[in-house]
Amino acid sequence: MRETETSSQPWADELRTHGLRVTAGRIAALGHIEAHPHCSAAEIHSALVGGLPSLSQQSVHNIVGDLTECGILRRIDLPDAGSALYETRTRDNHHHVQCVSCHRVEDVDCAVGAAPCLNPDHSHGMRILEASVTFRGICADCEAAEAAGASREAASAAEPSAHRA
């Protein structure tokens, strides 16, 4: 198994704190998600299966499910993401920004700082714990690519055809 980008000891301690066994799959998954936030179970499996050949896709789904249930991971369901994404940043009330073109996802810190950071006009008798906001836009790379494509289309439309009869 290749070495993870982060030390495994803090993750082992975190697993034990939540009453979970420390396994190579859990440690590897946590290390990968910490280094690559907002990744799917399929991406985690693809990244880890070379170093852990016995790790199945179902095992990865079980790992992220268990770790989400106990609060070590946060599951994110965003529009157009294709599948659930996972991150290790769980102890704050941050939000996300997602590019509508390439679907890149980045963290956005809470505007106010204390959960829930947004208050509805009516809570229907519920104590609000958090607010989940997804900002959607176009990242600079996608916007530049779209502009370049539009410029090429305009230039080719303006060129006279050399093969006119």
* 70 belongs to an annotated ligand binding site: no
* 139 belongs to an annotated ligand binding site: yes
* 102 belongs to an annotated ligand binding site: yes
- The full 3-state SS of 50-99, as one line of letters, equals CCCCCCCHHHHHHHHHHHHHCCCCEEECCCCCCCCEEECCCCCCCEEEEE
* 39 belongs to an annotated ligand binding site: no
CA-derived radius of gyration, the chain: 22
Point out the annotated binding site.
99, 102, 139, 142
Point out the annotated binding site for Zn(2+).
99, 102, 139, 142
